[in-house]
């Protein structure tokens, strides 16, 4: 789901600064973000201002249900296109560093680094298993059945969205055509840093969060042998990474001549060890100065903050000074996002994707499209306005008093860690009009916010002390989405000054790699700026407490229904 303007568009927001007499005093950093459906790039100055940004869509193939594939060639080409756009006309000497973030998708190449098909059709162009691909459901069930001790670092249950089950699926289903020919398996963020530098080093962020690497003990040979992937142990982990770098570390000798030509950037500029996209979003927002905003996290440690990154899916990033084990929540991961802190990562597998699915699948969607176009509004802006029209004297959220959604249309990532859960809607009528579409849209947004509350309460119960949410990602542009999260969690929400916090996070990596900042923490404080604060309406607390009771009942009933139907 996108709240962006048209694709292929480049915008410049800092031209006065760029062309001022002080231009020679300003350094710039390039951040490249590869999301699920598009690649975006931003030119960010040393003060954290996005001077220029551009985006371009990328292809997704869905050969069958729950199978999602992409192309590393397509993604790299898009990276080059958007980067050339944002640096056009900029003094190359002022561009000091480059940082990448990307989805945690699995890239497969052969020993000569050529794309290798991850599909039965043998289409080598499609060499990426997308993060949201669930083809490895049986493999992850077997891995979880081992109850190996490393699973304690993923909340006790590995997700099908992580890399070990995907690797096992490839070995069991594409042994001859892919597994035996593979030279390297990359997380997408690491593929991009390799493409830029020619160095196969991996980021600590990717291998700790998605590959079961321990920042303290390294790879666990026993785990990989137990899940029948002993081949990776025998070659000393060359295929999945035996050189691990902290995020923001300068990789190799910087940008290679070939990559520099592709991207339109100076040869040799610093390239940072990368981050997963959600972690870049956290980096871009969680460290901002909140003085003067009357927030409960002011004068409190950074551990009182939770970064909420909301796009196609949502990630809930909480950090702590000591490891906290949260059932159903990934982590604790040491130094995976902010150096020196442990990270717990909750998440919802489909949020923006779910809203899009619900809205576009409704019979009234063509009517919505036509009316939104006629009023020169996005469909979501129009829906928000329509809800204001039909609410009458009620607060808008109260319109769903008898309409409830359970949002796990793509399984539950956190805190239940149950891939088998499905979506639910309770309270449907025979209505098929625009009012009905607006109500189901509202109920879906509320369900996502209730899911965030469920994750947050689970993290709090395990020992986190979170009092403020810092929200970024595409959905932060939807004021209804933001307000529902504030009202339903009962916590203030901080929005960054820059809309593109994920891109700022990627640029922070490049800034750190350049040596212009002493540490990631310093770059976070200098470049991550706070914008608007959205306060919860505490007058609505009783209503949302009741909605939350119903929310938890929905999953109880679903599990009861599933138990009844077992064995049929």
Contact 170, 108 (CB under 8 A): yes
What is the distance of C-alpha 16 from the center of its chain? Answer: 32
Residue 110 lies in a domain: yes
Q: What is the DSSP letter of 177?
A: I
Angle between helices 352-360 and 365-374 (to 10 degrees): 100
> Same domain for 97 and 230?
yes
Domain boundary among 273, 292, 311: 273
Contact 335, 422 (CB under 8 A): no
Count CA atoms closer than 13 A to 364's CA, side-chain side: 19
| Residue 327: both structure tokens together | 């059932």
> Same domain for 119 and 227?
yes
pLDDT mean over 199-215:
97
Residue 553: pLDDT over 70? yes
Which residue in the block uniquely carries the two structure tokens 């081949």? 231
pLDDT mean over 58-74:
97
Quick: pLDDT tens for 343-391: 999 999 999 999 999 999 999 999 999 999 999 999 999 999 999 999 9
Domain boundary among 255, 273, 291: 273
Contact 305, 298 (CB under 8 A): no
Where does the pLDDT of residue 10 fall: very low under 50, low under 70, confident under 90, or very high at 90 and above? low
Where does the pLDDT of residue 222 fall: very low under 50, low under 70, confident under 90, or very high at 90 and above? very high
DSSP per position, 342-354: EEEEEEES-SHHH
Residue 177 lies in a domain: yes
What is the distance of C-alpha 430 from the center of its chain? Answer: 36
Mean pLDDT of the residues in the chain? 94
Residue 460 lies in a domain: no
> Same domain for 107 and 198?
yes
> Same domain for 85 and 229?
yes
User: Among residues 319, 203, 286, 293, which one has the least CA distance to residue 527?
Assistant: 286
> Same domain for 376 and 252?
no
Contact 236, 212 (CB under 8 A): no
Residue 536, classed as helix, strand or coil, is coil
Quick: pLDDT tens for 398-456: 999 999 999 999 999 999 999 999 999 999 999 999 999 999 999 999 999 999 999 99
- pLDDT score recorded for residue 15: 40
> Same domain for 114 and 208?
yes
- pLDDT score recorded for residue 6: 38
What is the distance of C-alpha 480 from the center of its chain? Answer: 20
Question: What are the two backbone dihedrals, phi and then psi, of residue 15, each rounded to the nearest 5 degrees?
Answer: -60, -35
Q: Measured on CA atoms in the order 494, 499, 502, 505, is the torsion positive or negative?
A: negative
Contact 276, 189 (CB under 8 A): yes
For residue 504, give Cα distances in angstroms to 52, 278, 378.
Answer: 11, 12, 25
User: What residues pair up with 375 in beta bridges, in sequence order?
Assistant: none
Residue 304 lies in a domain: no
- pLDDT score recorded for residue 11: 54
Quick: pLDDT tens for 170-203: 999 999 999 999 999 999 999 999 999 999 999 9
Q: Per the structure, how many domains does the chain have?
A: 2
- pLDDT score recorded for residue 21: 40
User: What residues pair up with 218 in beta bridges, in sequence order?
Assistant: 214
Where does the pLDDT of residue 14 fall: very low under 50, low under 70, confident under 90, or very high at 90 and above? very low
Q: What is the DSSP letter of 223?
A: H
Share of the chain above pLDDT 90, in %: 92
Contact 214, 204 (CB under 8 A): no
> Same domain for 362 and 266?
no
- pLDDT score recorded for residue 499: 86
- pLDDT score recorded for residue 282: 95
Residue 8: pLDDT over 50? no
pTM, entire model: 0.91
DSSP per position, 130-158: -TT--TTHHHHHHHHHT--GGGGGBTTS-
Contact 469, 491 (CB under 8 A): yes
Quick: pLDDT tens for 465-495: 999 999 999 999 999 999 999 999 999 999 9
Residue 477 lies in a domain: no
DSSP run (H or E) holding 173: helix 163-173
Residue 299, classed as helix, strand or coil, is coil
> Same domain for 356 and 267?
no
- pLDDT score recorded for residue 409: 97
pLDDT mean over 86-111:
96
Contact 303, 465 (CB under 8 A): yes
Residue 196 lies in a domain: yes
Domain boundary among 226, 248, 273: 273
Question: Rounded CA gap, 91 and 88, in Å?
Answer: 9
CATH number of the domain that 49 lies in? Answer: 3.30.420.40
> Same domain for 251 and 380?
no
Residue 9: pLDDT over 70? no
Residue 460, classed as helix, strand or coil, is helix
Q: Measured on CA atoms in the order 297, 300, 304, 305, is the torsion positive or negative?
A: positive
Quick: pLDDT tens for 238-258: 999 999 999 999 999 999 999
Residue 331 lies in a domain: no
CATH number of the domain that 423 lies in? Answer: 1.20.58.2240
The residue range of the domain holding 445 is 352-453
pLDDT mean over 269-285:
96
| Residue 394: both structure tokens together | 């009620």
| Residue 467: both structure tokens together | 């009092």
Strands, E, within 50-160: which ranges? 50-57, 69-70, 95-102, 106-110, 128-129
Residue 415 lies in a domain: yes
């Amino acid at each position: 789901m996108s709240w962006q303007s048209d694709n292929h568009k480049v915008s410049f927001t800092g031209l006065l600064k760029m062309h001022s007499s002080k231009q020679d005093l300003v350094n710039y950093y390039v951040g490249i973000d590869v999301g699920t459906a598009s690649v975006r790039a931003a030119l960010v100055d040393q003060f954290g201002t996005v001077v220029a940004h551009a985006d371009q869509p990328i292809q997704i193939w869905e050969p069958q249900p729950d199978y999602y594939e992409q192309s590393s060639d397509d993604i790299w080409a898009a990276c080059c296109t958007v980067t050339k756009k944002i640096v056009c006309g900029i003094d190359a000497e002022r561009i000091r560093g480059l940082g990448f973030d990307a989805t945690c998708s699995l890239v497969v190449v052969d020993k000569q680094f050529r794309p290798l098909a991850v599909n039965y059709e043998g289409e080598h162009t499609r060499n990426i298993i997308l993060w949201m691909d669930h083809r490895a459901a049986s493999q992850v069930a077997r891995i979880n059945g081992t109850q190996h001790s490393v699973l304690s670092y993923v909340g006790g249950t590995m997700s099908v969205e992580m890399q070990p089950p995907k690797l096992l699926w490839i070995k069991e289903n594409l042994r001859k055509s892919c597994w035996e020919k593979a030279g390297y398996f990359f997380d997408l963020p690491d593929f991009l840093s390799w493409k830029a530098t020619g160095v196969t080093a991996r980021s600590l962020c990717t291998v700790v969060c998605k590959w079961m690497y321990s920042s303290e003990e390294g790879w666990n040979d026993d785990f990989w042998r137990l899940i029948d992937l002993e081949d990776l142990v025998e070659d000393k982990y060359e295929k999945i990474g035996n050189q691990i770098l902290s995020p923001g570390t300068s990789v190799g000798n910087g940008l290679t001549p070939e990559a520099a030509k592709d991207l339109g950037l100076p040869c040799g500029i610093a390239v940072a060890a990368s981050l997963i996209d959600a972690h870049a979003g956290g980096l871009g927002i969680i460290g901002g100065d909140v003085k003067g905003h009357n927030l409960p996290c002011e004068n409190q440690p950074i551990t009182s903050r939770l970064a909420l990154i909301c796009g196609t899916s949502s990630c809930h990033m909480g950090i702590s000074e000591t490891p906290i084990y949260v059932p159903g929540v990934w982590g604790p991961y040491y130094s995976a996002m902010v150096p020196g802190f442990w990270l717990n990562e909750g998440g919802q597998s489909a949020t923006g994707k779910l809203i899009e699915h619900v809205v576009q699948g409704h019979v009234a969607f063509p009517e919505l499209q036509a009316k939104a176009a006629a009023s020169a509004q996005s469909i979501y802006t129009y829906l928000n306005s329509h809800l204001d029209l039909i609410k009458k004297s009620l607060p808008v959220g109260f319109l769903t008093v008898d309409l409830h959604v359970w949002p796990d249309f793509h399984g539950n990532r956190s805190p239940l860690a149950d891939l088998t859960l499905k979506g639910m809607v309770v309270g449907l009528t025979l209505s098929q009009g625009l009012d009905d579409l607006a109500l189901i849209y509202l109920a879906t947004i509320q369900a996502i916010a209730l899911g965030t509350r469920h994750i947050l309460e689970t993290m709090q119960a395990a020992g986190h002390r979170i009092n403020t949410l810092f929200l970024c990602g595409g959905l932060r542009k939807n004021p209804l989405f933001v307000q529902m999260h504030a009202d339903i969690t009962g916590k203030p929400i901080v929005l960054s000054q820059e809309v593109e916090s994920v891109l700022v996070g990627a640029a922070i990596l490049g800034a750190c790699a350049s040596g212009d900042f002493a540490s990631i923490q310093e770059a976070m404080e200098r470049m991550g700026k706070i914008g608007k604060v959205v306060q919860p309406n505490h007058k609505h607390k009783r209503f949302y407490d009741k909605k939350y009771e119903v929310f938890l009942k929905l999953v109880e009933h679903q599990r009861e229904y599933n138990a009844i139907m077992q064995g049929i």
